[in-house]
Amino acid sequence: MPNAKVLSEKKAVVDALTERLKGSAAGVLVNYSGISVADDTALRRKLREAGVEYTVVKNTLLRFAINNVGYEALDGKLSGTTSIATSAEDPVAPARILKEYADKLPKFELKGGFMDGEIMSVEEVEALASIPAIPVLRAQVLGTMLAPITSLAVVLKAIAEKNGAPAAEEAAAE
Protein backbone atom coordinates (compact mmCIF):
# COMPACT_ATOMS: atom_id res chain seq x y z
CA MET A 1 0.00 0.00 0.00
CA PRO A 2 1.36 3.45 -0.90
CA ASN A 3 2.45 5.69 1.89
CA ALA A 4 0.69 8.89 2.92
CA LYS A 5 3.14 11.13 1.03
CA VAL A 6 2.51 9.36 -2.30
CA LEU A 7 -1.25 9.45 -1.74
CA SER A 8 -1.20 13.16 -0.94
CA GLU A 9 0.85 13.86 -4.10
CA LYS A 10 -1.63 11.91 -6.21
CA LYS A 11 -4.55 13.70 -4.56
CA ALA A 12 -2.89 17.04 -5.40
CA VAL A 13 -2.54 15.98 -9.06
CA VAL A 14 -6.21 14.93 -9.19
CA ASP A 15 -7.29 18.22 -7.57
CA ALA A 16 -5.24 20.23 -10.06
CA LEU A 17 -6.67 18.25 -13.00
CA THR A 18 -10.20 18.72 -11.63
CA GLU A 19 -9.75 22.50 -11.42
CA ARG A 20 -8.23 22.57 -14.90
CA LEU A 21 -11.19 20.64 -16.34
CA LYS A 22 -13.68 22.92 -14.56
CA GLY A 23 -11.99 26.01 -16.02
CA SER A 24 -11.73 24.67 -19.57
CA ALA A 25 -14.00 25.63 -22.43
CA ALA A 26 -13.00 22.42 -24.22
CA GLY A 27 -10.64 19.49 -24.03
CA VAL A 28 -9.51 16.60 -26.19
CA LEU A 29 -8.10 13.21 -25.19
CA VAL A 30 -5.53 11.55 -27.47
CA ASN A 31 -3.52 8.37 -27.70
CA TYR A 32 -0.01 9.73 -28.17
CA SER A 33 1.80 6.42 -28.78
CA GLY A 34 4.17 6.35 -31.71
CA ILE A 35 4.93 10.08 -31.73
CA SER A 36 8.59 10.96 -32.12
CA VAL A 37 10.35 13.38 -29.81
CA ALA A 38 10.67 15.93 -32.63
CA ASP A 39 6.94 15.70 -33.46
CA ASP A 40 6.02 15.88 -29.78
CA THR A 41 8.17 18.98 -29.30
CA ALA A 42 6.60 20.67 -32.34
CA LEU A 43 3.11 19.70 -31.16
CA ARG A 44 3.68 21.09 -27.67
CA ARG A 45 5.08 24.34 -29.11
CA LYS A 46 2.08 24.79 -31.40
CA LEU A 47 -0.38 24.05 -28.57
CA ARG A 48 1.41 26.45 -26.22
CA GLU A 49 1.29 29.23 -28.85
CA ALA A 50 -2.48 28.67 -29.15
CA GLY A 51 -2.97 28.91 -25.38
CA VAL A 52 -3.69 25.18 -25.01
CA GLU A 53 -2.46 23.24 -21.98
CA TYR A 54 -1.25 19.74 -22.93
CA THR A 55 -0.36 17.04 -20.43
CA VAL A 56 0.46 13.35 -20.46
CA VAL A 57 -1.40 11.90 -17.51
CA LYS A 58 -1.99 8.54 -15.87
CA ASN A 59 -5.39 7.13 -16.76
CA THR A 60 -6.31 6.43 -13.13
CA LEU A 61 -5.62 10.00 -12.01
CA LEU A 62 -7.45 11.45 -15.01
CA ARG A 63 -10.39 9.12 -14.33
CA PHE A 64 -10.73 10.51 -10.80
CA ALA A 65 -10.61 14.10 -12.12
CA ILE A 66 -13.09 13.36 -14.91
CA ASN A 67 -15.50 11.77 -12.44
CA ASN A 68 -15.15 14.78 -10.10
CA VAL A 69 -16.31 17.05 -12.92
CA GLY A 70 -19.11 14.76 -14.12
CA TYR A 71 -17.59 13.54 -17.39
CA GLU A 72 -18.01 9.83 -16.49
CA ALA A 73 -18.85 9.05 -20.13
CA LEU A 74 -15.14 9.52 -20.96
CA ASP A 75 -14.12 6.64 -18.64
CA GLY A 76 -14.22 4.18 -21.54
CA LYS A 77 -11.64 6.28 -23.42
CA LEU A 78 -9.04 5.98 -20.66
CA SER A 79 -6.94 3.05 -21.77
CA GLY A 80 -3.48 2.88 -23.28
CA THR A 81 -1.39 6.01 -23.45
CA THR A 82 -3.43 9.13 -22.79
CA SER A 83 -2.76 12.82 -22.94
CA ILE A 84 -5.20 15.68 -22.58
CA ALA A 85 -5.24 19.11 -24.20
CA THR A 86 -7.48 21.79 -22.70
CA SER A 87 -8.16 25.42 -23.48
CA ALA A 88 -9.91 27.98 -21.33
CA GLU A 89 -10.13 30.55 -24.15
CA ASP A 90 -10.50 29.00 -27.61
CA PRO A 91 -12.63 25.83 -27.57
CA VAL A 92 -11.64 24.94 -31.14
CA ALA A 93 -7.84 25.17 -30.76
CA PRO A 94 -7.17 21.79 -29.06
CA ALA A 95 -9.33 19.91 -31.56
CA ARG A 96 -7.89 21.71 -34.59
CA ILE A 97 -4.23 21.23 -33.67
CA LEU A 98 -4.56 17.63 -32.46
CA LYS A 99 -6.61 16.64 -35.52
CA GLU A 100 -3.87 18.06 -37.73
CA TYR A 101 -1.32 15.82 -36.00
CA ALA A 102 -3.66 12.80 -36.01
CA ASP A 103 -3.94 13.18 -39.80
CA LYS A 104 -0.13 13.28 -40.18
CA LEU A 105 0.85 10.56 -37.71
CA PRO A 106 -0.81 7.14 -38.05
CA LYS A 107 -0.52 6.01 -34.41
CA PHE A 108 -1.46 9.39 -32.90
CA GLU A 109 -5.24 9.19 -32.57
CA LEU A 110 -8.06 11.19 -31.07
CA LYS A 111 -10.04 9.44 -28.32
CA GLY A 112 -12.81 11.96 -27.65
CA GLY A 113 -13.34 15.19 -25.82
CA PHE A 114 -15.66 17.63 -24.14
CA MET A 115 -16.90 21.16 -24.71
CA ASP A 116 -19.11 23.31 -22.47
CA GLY A 117 -19.91 20.37 -20.21
CA GLU A 118 -20.92 18.03 -23.05
CA ILE A 119 -19.03 14.88 -24.02
CA MET A 120 -17.93 14.67 -27.66
CA SER A 121 -17.20 11.61 -29.77
CA VAL A 122 -14.18 11.41 -32.05
CA GLU A 123 -16.41 12.40 -34.99
CA GLU A 124 -17.65 15.47 -33.12
CA VAL A 125 -14.08 16.47 -32.22
CA GLU A 126 -13.11 16.17 -35.90
CA ALA A 127 -16.12 18.30 -36.89
CA LEU A 128 -15.15 20.91 -34.30
CA ALA A 129 -11.61 20.91 -35.72
CA SER A 130 -12.94 22.05 -39.11
CA ILE A 131 -14.22 25.35 -37.64
CA PRO A 132 -11.83 28.23 -38.41
CA ALA A 133 -9.88 29.94 -35.64
CA ILE A 134 -11.49 32.83 -33.74
CA PRO A 135 -9.50 35.59 -35.53
CA VAL A 136 -10.57 34.14 -38.90
CA LEU A 137 -14.20 34.00 -37.79
CA ARG A 138 -14.02 37.62 -36.58
CA ALA A 139 -12.58 38.72 -39.94
CA GLN A 140 -15.32 36.86 -41.80
CA VAL A 141 -18.05 38.51 -39.71
CA LEU A 142 -16.48 41.94 -40.12
CA GLY A 143 -16.19 41.42 -43.88
CA THR A 144 -19.84 40.42 -44.03
CA MET A 145 -20.85 43.53 -42.10
CA LEU A 146 -18.75 45.86 -44.27
CA ALA A 147 -19.86 44.44 -47.64
CA PRO A 148 -23.25 46.24 -47.81
CA ILE A 149 -21.70 49.56 -46.75
CA THR A 150 -18.98 49.25 -49.39
CA SER A 151 -21.55 48.36 -52.06
CA LEU A 152 -23.67 51.37 -51.10
CA ALA A 153 -20.65 53.68 -51.36
CA VAL A 154 -19.80 52.33 -54.82
CA VAL A 155 -23.39 52.80 -56.05
CA LEU A 156 -23.63 56.33 -54.64
CA LYS A 157 -20.34 57.27 -56.29
CA ALA A 158 -21.52 55.89 -59.64
CA ILE A 159 -24.81 57.82 -59.39
CA ALA A 160 -22.97 61.02 -58.50
CA GLU A 161 -20.58 60.63 -61.44
CA LYS A 162 -23.47 59.88 -63.81
CA ASN A 163 -25.28 63.05 -62.75
CA GLY A 164 -22.20 65.12 -63.51
CA ALA A 165 -21.01 65.69 -60.00
CA PRO A 166 -17.22 65.83 -59.76
CA ALA A 167 -15.57 62.80 -58.25
CA ALA A 168 -14.38 63.16 -54.70
CA GLU A 169 -10.74 63.02 -55.81
CA GLU A 170 -11.29 65.85 -58.33
CA ALA A 171 -13.13 68.00 -55.77
CA ALA A 172 -10.38 67.45 -53.22
CA ALA A 173 -7.73 68.45 -55.78
CA GLU A 174 -9.43 71.78 -56.53
pLDDT at 49: 93
Q: Say if CB 21 and CB 86 are below 8 A apart.
A: yes
In a shared domain, residues 12 and 65? yes
The pLDDT value given to residue 15: 93
pLDDT tens, position by position, 131-160: 776 777 778 788 788 778 888 888 888 888
In this prediction, residue 5 carries a pLDDT of: 87
Provide the pLDDT for residue 89. Answer: 87
Verify that 70 and 102 share a domain, yes or no.
yes
Residue 140 lies in domain: 135-173
81 in Cβ contact with 31 (< 8 Å): yes
Q: Is the separation of the CB atoms in 140 and 132 below 8 Å? A: yes
pLDDT digits (tens, 9 = 90+) for 88-117: 988 889 999 999 999 988 888 999 999 988
Closest C-alpha to 87, from 48, 118, 134: 48
pLDDT tens digits along 33-92: 888 999 999 999 999 999 999 999 999 999 999 999 989 989 889 989 999 999 998 888
Domain count along the chain = 2
Residue 4: is its pLDDT beyond 70?
yes
Same domain, 107 and 143: no
The sign of the dihedral angle between the CA atoms of 37, 59, 46, 99 is positive
* 70 lies in the same domain as 127: yes
- Please check whether residues 66 and 37 belong to one and the same domain: yes
pLDDT of residue 173: 53
Give yes or no: residues 64 and 50 share one domain. yes
Task: Tell me if 52 sits within 8 A of 97, measured CB to CB.
Answer: yes
Per-residue pLDDT band for 165 (boundaries 50, 70, 90) equals low
